[in-house]
Structure 1
Amino acid sequence: MRQALIVWGGWEGHEPRQGAEIIRAFLQEDGFDVRLENTTRAFADPAIRNYSLIVPIFTMSKIEKDEVSNLEAAVRGGVGLAGYHGGMGDAFREAVDYQFMVGGQWVAHPGIIDYQVDVTRPDDPVMAGIESFPYRSEQYYMHVDPSNEVLATTTFTAEHASWIDGVVMPVVWKRRHGTGRVFYSSLGHVASEFAVPQMSTILRRGMNWAAR
């Protein structure tokens, strides 16, 4: 049986515990044995190098050097890494090795607004059958790695910042880190957004893609 580790915590505004419970249910339904932890010390455990998948849900906060070093080595060695919104894309702001591995880092958003998610790779199995769709949440403006394989984007207007008018920003991507697969979706500010079928389907497929 494939093993997955979910590590949750950090800023409570993103409802990390609720999100972790939802993700655990998804993974268990998909045949994973799931370990749930709520401290970053879990990342330092040498045993995580034998896992199939790691899901961080830990907005902001700090991570110790030995923790991020062991996590990076695990992914580089083949363990999958997958996550969503600030739980993965705005975690451990001071840890550049972590951001390098993820392929992006949040920098701003205009609050909860209505925006469009444009599917750019309908041929990819993660996005199969999903058309571009409207979404209401935080529209993430991120610094992103140009080597990411982008599966969906969103376009910013000048309403909140004139200098980003027309900027096309990745929303969903996948990438490689060593021999490990990395998947990220910026959707999912709070747990209620899992009720949006496109959001939950994309994330669930992405986690399964990333898992070895």
Structure 2
Amino acid sequence: MREALIVWGGWSGHEPEQGANIIAGMLEEEGFKVYVENSTEAFADPAIADMSLIVPIYTMSKIEKEELLNLTKAVEGGVGLAGYHGGMGDAFREAVEYQFMVGGQWVAHPGNIIDYHVDVTKPEDPIMAGLPARFPYRSEHYYMHVDPSNEVLATTTFTGDHAYWIDGVVMPVVWKRRHGKGRVFYSSLGHVASEFQVPEMNTIMRRGLLWAAR
């Protein structure tokens, strides 16, 4: 049986515990044995190297050097890493090694919670197969610094309504990448737990978890 570790915490506005419960349910439905922790200390356990998947849901926090070293080593060795929104993309702002592994870092959400569109850029990819070419979404519209080596699966286009100088900027929303032997998946969708009720978001997340897991 494949095993997955979910570690949640940080800013409560992202509803990390609720999100952890939803992700745990998804993975259990897919046959995983799931461990859920709410401290970054879990990343320091050498046993994470034997996991199939690690899911951080931990916004605006800090990670100790030994925790980060053990986490990145596990992923480089083949453990999958997958997550969403600020729980993975704005977890540890001071940890550049973590951001290098994830492939991006949140920097702004102009307009805060707004209506926007997500455009599927790789409809042939199994994670995106069968989804609408474009679908509406309401959430924080994530503006991110991203790694050019990411394999981008979906994007969004910013207007100048809330920051005129970014009018027309095309921003990655969903991507996958490699970090050493490990597979890394990220989606910027999912500000609060209720967004898992959006079919497209839910499907993308479930498929991304499964793709990343070894």
Instruction: State the TM-score bracket (shorter-chain normalisation).
Output: over 0.9
Pairs aligned (count):
212
Q: How far, CA to CA, are the matches of 1:177 and 1:164 in structure 2?
A: 30
Q: How far, CA to CA, are the matches of 1:31 and 1:175 in structure 2?
A: 24
Alpha-carbon RMSD: 0.3
Residue of structure 2 equivalent to 1:87: 87
User: Any unmatched runs of 5+ in structure 2?
Assistant: none
| Amino acid in the other structure paired with 2:34 | V
Residue of structure 1 equivalent to 2:152: 150
Give the 3-state SS of the residue equivalent to 1:9 in structure 2: strand
The answer as to 2:40 corresponding to 1:48 is no
Q: How far, CA to CA, are the matches of 2:31 and 2:169 in structure 1?
A: 39
Q: How far, CA to CA, are the matches of 1:160 and 1:65 in structure 2?
A: 37
Residue of structure 2 equivalent to 1:64: 64
Instruction: Give the CA deviation at 1:31.
Output: 0.5
Aligned residue among 169, 172, 178 for 2:171: 169
Q: How far, CA to CA, are the matches of 1:68 and 1:159 in structure 2?
A: 38
Instruction: Give the CA deviation at 1:75.
Output: 0.2
Instruction: Give the CA deviation at 1:199.
Output: 0.2
Give the 3-state SS of the residue equivalent to 1:157 in structure 2: coil
Q: How far, CA to CA, are the matches of 1:114 and 1:92 in structure 2?
A: 27
| Amino acid in the other structure paired with 1:27 | L
The answer as to 2:21 corresponding to 1:21 is yes
Give the 3-state SS of the residue equivalent to 2:68 in structure 1: helix
Instruction: Give the CA deviation at 1:80.
Output: 0.1
Give the 3-state SS of the residue equivalent to 1:42 in structure 2: helix
Residue of structure 1 equivalent to 2:136: 134
Instruction: Give the CA deviation at 1:50.
Output: 0.3
Instruction: Give the CA deviation at 1:43.
Output: 0.1
Identical amino acids, percent of aligned pairs: 79
TM-score normalised by length of structure 1:
1.00
Instruction: Give the CA deviation at 1:164.
Output: 0.5
Give the 3-state SS of the residue equivalent to 2:159 in structure 1: coil
Give the 3-state SS of the residue equivalent to 1:126 in structure 2: coil
Residue of structure 1 equivalent to 2:77: 77
Give the 3-state SS of the residue equivalent to 1:187 in structure 2: coil
Instruction: Give the CA deviation at 1:14.
Output: 0.1
The answer as to 2:181 corresponding to 1:179 is yes
Instruction: Give the CA deviation at 1:162.
Output: 1.1
| Amino acid in the other structure paired with 2:51 | Y
Give the 3-state SS of the residue equivalent to 1:100 in structure 2: helix
| Amino acid in the other structure paired with 1:175 | R
